[in-house]
Amino acid sequence: MQSTDKWPSIADIADKVSHGDLKAVDLIERSLKAISDTKEYDAIIATTETRARERAEAVDQAVQKGDKVGRLAGVPFIVKDNFLTLGGETTAASNILKGFEAPYQATAVERLEAEGAICVAKANLDAFAHGSSTENSDFMVTKNPYDKTRVPGGSSGGPAVSVLLNLAPFALGTDTGGSIRLPASFCGIVGYKPTYGLVSRSGVVAMASSTDVIGPLTRDIEDTALVLDIMAGKDELDSTTIERDSGGYLDLTADLKGKRIGVIKEYMGEGLQPNVRTVIEAAIQKLKDAGAEVKEVSLPSLPMALAVYYVICPAEVSSNLSRYDGQRYGYSFKEAKDLDESYTKSRGMGFGKEAKRRIMIGTFVLSSGYYDAYYKRAQTVRTKLIQEFEVAFKEVDYLVGPTAPMTAFRIGENVSDPLQMYLSDIMTVAVNLVGIPAISIPAGMSDGLPVGLQLMAPQRADRALLACAQKVEALL
């Protein structure tokens, strides 16, 4: 696996920049060179190098003047290309948005840059975040650095590979049904999905608005906590945001001894690959050895979560993608004879196969005569899932299981079988449906490929989950 030198911790980088021991301009050049040297992995759609260099110079000048430079001074980072950023295009890896330059930045990016961080590049993804492998990008297929014939997971495959290859100390992704945690598992890094609403979605291209969550991909929990601490909290531009924890997210003191951890029965069943089961069971045994009280927990409605997700998610996708009509922004078919042809040609030529598939499914389940049979019933089961998780968290402090039922599969293996591709998310979608926080941390290797362990906590228990995850991280 080709990789550049590992970065120091984010806090260490910022501290050295703020004291003049490191130059922000040198860090940006290091990041840009690493991106250039690893092009064969197709992780990056485009860099924002001109703006990044200007910002780095401004940080260094502020340090020289003795001005305050922030908790992320000079730290380069990479964002999934569905985040609106200045200094380059935002395409969501779709032809329909090719050439679109955002007039403002996502709140998450703004908050990081307000603390001195510098966005250096836009990473590849499944177009509009529709996918589990990053094969649905209209521009390129990102390769897994552990084996270039395999996928990195999706839809945040580009950000995950960016972190694994040390292109930047951290990256931002979106998690609608597992799109941060799945690539984190396949790439052997940390991927965090916060409580729904904890991080503003303003300025992020919408997929499914009731499950979309913004989170970091990092090398370790300490970096995850710092990035979350800066991004989290209410935002007047996003009415779904919630208040941050009054104590913040940096206090990671915790003890596994006596903690009640529930192993999800339904995730350890027949669908789990034997090699993945071996790694996960070994990790769970380490939790027991550390003094945790481990017990099996059953969530009876969990087997229906994937079906529920693939009714609700396409329904919201069909609504959110209706704005791309060729009239206001994005691709427009210039030779159209009338408005109807402009709509049909612009959307027909601009959207890829997976976007069209989800639009059609979503339109169907919302249509007259099918709304009650599919969408309403799915929302009823979603409520049931929320109730079952609430009951489970009365019995245990945390839930644990695999992040995915398999290790990274081969590029092209599931492209012609959408159902098989959707099954990649079978262990991650429930978390999004019920709005709780979850994290994937590296649990070990199987046949040379990483396996992720997933930890879950009740809504708003993000600080406790990160503290627990750091202790588990140390064990593994």
The DSSP line for 208-220 is -TTT--EEEEESS
386 Cβ contact partners less than 8 Å away, ≥ 6 residues apart: 433, 434, 435
Active-site residue flag, 332: no
The DSSP line for 110-133 is HHHHHTT-EEEEEE--SGGG--SS
Instruction: Give φ, ψ of 427 to 5 degrees.
Output: -105, 5
The CA distance from 194 to 138, in Å, is 28
Nearest to 377 by CA among 365, 391, 367, 368: 365
Active-site residue flag, 39: no
What are the tokens at 289?
Answer: 């050895």
> Would the CA dihedral through 107, 110, 114, 115 be positive or negative?
positive
Give me the residues paired with residue 118 across strands.
Answer: 76
Q: Could you say which of 80, 122, 143, 471 is catalytic? A: 80
Q: Could you say which of 132, 155, 185, 342 is catalytic? A: 155
The CA distance from 138 to 292, in Å, is 46
The DSSP line for 265-288 is GGGGSTTS-HHHHHHHHHHHHHHH
Quick check: helix, strand or coil at residue 295?
strand
What are the tokens at 67?
Answer: 């001005």
Q: Could you say which of 94, 137, 179, 446 is catalytic? A: 179
The CA distance from 413 to 418, in Å, is 11
Active-site residue flag, 80: yes
Environment class of residue 86 by beta-carbon count within 10 Å: exposed (0-12), middle (13-18) or buried (19+)? Answer: middle
The CA distance from 399 to 290, in Å, is 16
User: What does the chain come to in residues?
Assistant: 476
The CA distance from 422 to 412, in Å, is 14
Nearest to 149 by CA among 133, 126, 125: 133
The CA distance from 199 to 238, in Å, is 9
Instruction: Give φ, ψ of 321 to 5 degrees.
Output: -85, -5
In the chain, the amino acid numbered 132 is S
Q: At which residue do the structure tokens 């092209």 appear? A: 412
Instruction: Give φ, ψ of 373 to 5 degrees.
Output: -70, -30
Largest CA distance in the chain: 71
In the chain, the amino acid numbered 209 is S
Active-site residue list: 80, 155, 179
